[in-house]
Amino acid sequence: MTVSVAKKRKEFFDLHESGCFVLPNPWDVGSARVLQSLGYKALASTSAGFAWSTGRSDYGLKLNDLLEHLTALSAATDLPVNADFESGFADDPAGVAENVRKCAATGVSGLSIENRSSDPKQPLYEFSLSVERIRAARAALDDDESGVLLVARCEGFLTGEADLNMTIKRLVAFAEAGADCLYAPGIRTPEQISAVVKAVAPKPVNVLVMSPDFKVAELAELGVRRVSLGGQLAAAAWGGFMRAAQEIVEKGTFTELRNNYSGRDLHKVFAQYVAK
């Protein structure tokens, strides 16, 4: 890494000031460096993609495992990295604050906090508690003067509460509690996206790609500031792996290997890091 953490954090905030950018999600050092080589301006971790790479399901990560992963990811690239920090690995605001400080210490430029609980009977935190959790995260980042961008997520559309009005109510409260960027994964129609953008303006909104039919230009027209992919790139990599592996074991043929990315081109990307 040749760019300082402070510079990356400033650049990340600047990206949120205007326009619309795509925030792809690498799941390891190699994928992060390839994405940097393709010209992206920033990256975001994916807890699902990282979990799959270690043989675990989404939300099967331990805090220390994720902190080590974020440290390696941030050190591996000159681009700002936004951390998928799940629900902060704590229920109470004080625990969220403590873990947010640990996350900021990994070198990330941003981090997101979900309002998804670990209780299947109540998948979202109670409204006031969810707001206090964001307020605690904000205070922790301010106390440390870390310069880390805080993203607040409402998981309603992913947990069965597909209520746009309630989602907007939560996001507005999160914005008032100090979130720098708002995010409601699962919204997908122009009407839903536009309503969220208008409700929290002028704060930026992140939209998760939920369908191959999404287009960056159309999202930009709706006022979306950043577009992320979640585990989609990791799933795409697994798709190629599974198609090739299944063909070999089921048919004894290797035609899927024709779709492989060039090992020579990958070597060119990674060789520059070996030289350093």
Helices and strands (H and E) in the chain: how many: 12, 8
pTM for this prediction: 0.96
| pLDDT by position in tens, the chain (length 276) | 589 999 999 999 999 999 999 999 999 999 999 999 999 999 999 999 999 999 999 999 999 999 999 999 999 999 999 999 999 999 999 999 999 999 999 999 999 999 999 998 999 999 999 999 999 999 999 999 999 999 999 999 999 999 999 999 999 999 999 999 999 999 999 999 999 999 999 999 999 999 999 999 999 999 999 999 999 999 999 999 999 999 999 999 999 999 999 999 999 999 988 755
**Domain spans, the chain:** 5-230
Architecture of domain 5-230: Alpha-Beta Barrel (3.20)
Name the 3-class secondary structure at 45.
Answer: coil
DSSP string, 146-174: --PEEEEE--HHHHT---HHHHHHHHHHH
Amino acid at 39: G
